[in-house]
A and B are shown apart, each in its own frame.
Chain A
Amino acid sequence: MQSKGSSRIVVTVVGKDKVGIIASVANVLADLNANILDISQTILQEFFTMIMIVDIANCTVDFSTLKEKLEEKGQEIGVKISAQHEDVFQFMHRI
């Protein structure tokens, strides 16, 4: 990570609900040694929505590779996975 300070990212998964979404995403993260700090999940307007807070301080790959791996997994299981640095949300919604 280039930006110092926080090494936490927000992983968002949106798509049609089905068996094994959490498991698949968690597996990708575990394989790369990224630590899941928090998971919340809702069904929003028929869409499965999961938000994970992930610490990537000890992640074995850099952020852009992790992002690619997650996006690949998303395509494979038919959901949209995005990953962003947590600063984006802190900055937009808090002063």
Chain B
Amino acid sequence: MPISITTEEILETIRMVEAENLDIRTITMGISLRDCSHPDIKVTSQKIYDKVTRKAENLVKVGQSIEGEYGIPIINKRISVTPISIVAEACESDNYLEIALSLDKAAREVGVNFIGGFSALVHKGMTKGDEKLIYSIPYSLAQTERVCSSVNVATTKAGINMDAVKIMGEIIKETAELTRKQDGLGCAKLVIFCNVPEDNPFMAGAFHGVGEPEAVINVGVSGPGVVLNVVKKNPDSTFGVLASKIKQTAFKITRMGELVGKEAAKRLGIPFGIVDLSLAPTPAIGDSVADILEAMGLEKCGTHGTTAALAMLNDAVKKGGAMASSYVGGLSGAFIPVSEDAGMIRAVEAGALDINKLEAMTCVCSVGLDMIAVPGDTSAATISAIIADEAAIGMINKKTTAVRIIPVPGKKVGEMVVFGGLLGQAPIMPVNQFSSDKFIKRGGRIPAPIHALNN
């Protein structure tokens, strides 16, 4: 009996995969480490290693078999764990490097390229464990390859922890310095969040939240290339028509994520969590969010109209995706990481896109100032102030925002820094030369906004 799918539909699917870079960006297994706590950090580290390698033993194998059977590339298999600040809180040790090393070893053992969760949630204040974790970040990221770290410094409900914001500026500088030989690569694995989601499958900001089950499978789909093609095919459509076309495409992309996620969860015998509906670009040609914005009619990404174009794109992707998946979560919005998007890099080099426009764009999409390289002599206070601005946007607009910024040691505006692989390359962008020192020195907490009082 023939199946009820037309030739055109079959060819459309094949074209999406082969010509337009449709892929599943990541299958991320969330693993709770709450049962790994122990006063002795050596015991904690061993327990963590044992649990991660046991739970994720078959993750890569299952990913590869699904990839083969369905013919959809799955680019990354990753792991997120309970924020280590919580797991290690009981440890009688003044730093958590040993745990980072054991996470790195576990990731290598099971064959995942990143493991996220060297994290702390400090939007209202820090416990001793949070503090130890944060001060362990620079050398932990310098001495590991696959560990990713994130710190949540603000929420709409709690306000912005400006003490943490100040510290994170310094931590970013120190991380860059300790990974100087690799142009500050450590900072590419460190994200500072406002309103961080607990089920995000994308790195570097993934961790396994406290409300999550013992283990879970979350999926991040991607398809800027597919959306780009749709926009290109409709050069003269009005926005209503264009939004509709993007929605239909987002629907199809998301269905793939749903299928792969459910199948992976079934084969691994753990529950399926969410599909993250984000358009995540890669350095590959044609896999760029900036290209989509330009195809809408902007000469260069970053010119006037860019924010509106991005708002429309982001909303259409969500509307189409929400219909296609039973559970949507994570970040779910277009990403605009500069170094990972060939179109963004071109726009920066042409002088069309600067950090101010990027900041405006983060008001209407996820996540924030992502993979931005700035001069190595940028002060810690300026970086903290950039974080504070992003956190304010997130806090007031009840959305996730984040900063992943790399002050590249020894490099100046106009130079290029190459991280390689999915992290791509970035032109060094100028920051405002006026000081924010006194502002950052105040410390304390910016109170939650009035609309947080909604009970």
Interface size range of chain A in the complex: 20 to 34
**In the complex, what distance in Å separates the CA atom of A94 from the CA atom of B9?**
10
State which of B31-39, B64-72, B93-101, B283-291 sits at the interface with chain A: B64-72
Residue of A nearest to B69 (CB): A85
How far is the CB of A8 from the nearest CB of chain B, in Å? 7
* A88: chain B residues within 8 A (beta carbon): 13, 70-72, 256, 259
Cβ A53 vs Cβ B3 within 8 A: yes
Residues on B lying within 8 angstroms of A by beta carbon are 1-5, 7, 9-11, 13-14, 18, 65, 68-72, 252, 255-256, 258-259, 263, 267
Q: Which listed residue (B10, B68, B263) contacts A12, Cβ 8 A?
A: B10
Q: Rank and list the top 6 A-B pairs by shortest CB-CB distance, nearest first.
A: A84-B71, A38-B2, A91-B259, A89-B5, A93-B9, A88-B70
Q: Chain B contacts of A64 at CB under 8 A?
A: 65, 68-69
**A75 at interface (Cβ–Cβ under 8 A)?**
no
Task: Give chain B residues whose Cβ lies under 8 Å from the Cβ of A90.
Answer: 3, 5
A23 at the binding interface (Cβ < 8 Å): no
Q: Across the interface, which residues of B come within 8 angstroms of A82, CB to CB?
A: 14, 18, 71
Roughly how many angstroms separate A87 CA and B18 CA in the complex, as a whole number? 18
B11 touches A44 (CB 8 A): yes
Alpha-carbon gap, A10 to B14, bound state (A): 11
Instruction: Check A79 for interface membership: any CB of B closer than 8 A.
Output: no
Return A14 CB to nearest CB of chain B, in Å. Answer: 8
Restricting to A1-18, which residues have a CB under 8 Å from any CB of B?
Answer: 1-3, 8, 10, 12, 14
Q: Which residues of B contact A51 (CB under 8 A)?
A: 7, 10-11
Most buried by B among A3, A37, A67, A83: A3
A2, B69: Cβ atoms under 8 Å?
yes
Residue of B10, B252, B258 with highest tally of chain A CB at under 10 A: B10
Q: Which residues of the partner chain A approach B3 to less than 8 Å between Cβ atoms?
A: 8, 10, 38, 53, 86, 89-90
Q: Which of A2, A86, A91 is most buried by chain B, counting CB atoms within 10 A of its CB?
A: A91
A40 to chain B, nearest CB (A): 6
